[in-house]
Structure 1
């Protein structure tokens, strides 16, 4: 069974017939709205084609967060190699991107308010994108997971749900890839339609289970 077919089966309750019923939620970890989700009317300083911006976000995610980097320093090297620069702005903005954790934040030249990368010292890596085409961002995320998921790699879907947040619908998709102690979580929170709003693609190390 392919990855996309697995997802379709997992999400059928939420996506059947293209409808999004209010009660369609699975027994999965709670939905986490990205910071700034409510600012759907915010107008960034830069403008970009939503579909092109979606592709740029997916490419950045593939080259940085999804790469099998060993630590935060290696991801910083990947960010610089991708042409990103340290994010200008106040400390509160950088802290928001990092969820309050220590780390570094970067932005794409000419896209500073649209496309950003946060690298936490604990290994979490998040690509933030605003005003990109939501379905295209999610489709790109699935392609990245498909690229990482290969023979001998374990894959476990962890969440698939559609939730209404800040007056709009967002889709949350997640997988755990690999085996302990190198298991990684791949997550996406994307807009169901093409509308202003913040979306994210992220990876994080999965804590090893403790034998009882």
Structure 2
């Protein structure tokens, strides 16, 4: 029986900054998929805390990846927003990532998921920041994510809406009061696993 492969591209939200490896969303999704009878290798995670979309691309160009993957997930852009980078530049880099994702999946757009950027402005870490400005900026970046997903035929997963109502809770963040807890990642994992399962 075929064992599926998964390339998870992103930043701190993909590696799960502040939580054990098994609590990040790719590994929790992996367990859900295996529980439903799908065979998956451990996700190949290309992500680092603090990476912008262009830094992710720079790293991808320096490492040897497989030629094909059965699934690709993309969750990137929060650091572009955090550093005040231009949305147009983000759109350009996202186009590059989209082209690579299609190449990796041999043109199967339905096997690619783009996950929306969570709104860190609701977290305790950001209590002295302009939450409204962060909210609006995150929306602009996510509009790019959603538009590209629609145009390419990717699955777009909105985790931002729910996070805006729970991200300020103590149980929703780790010790740094910024990054999501394993409990939050479980919710994201369920959404990703559902998409990956129906596209088996």
TM range, smaller chain: under 0.3
User: Could you tell me the TM-score, scaled by structure 2's length?
Assistant: 0.25
User: Could you tell me the TM-score, scaled by structure 1's length?
Assistant: 0.24
Normalized per residue, the structure richer in helix is 2
Larger radius of gyration: 1
Normalized per residue, the structure richer in strand is 1
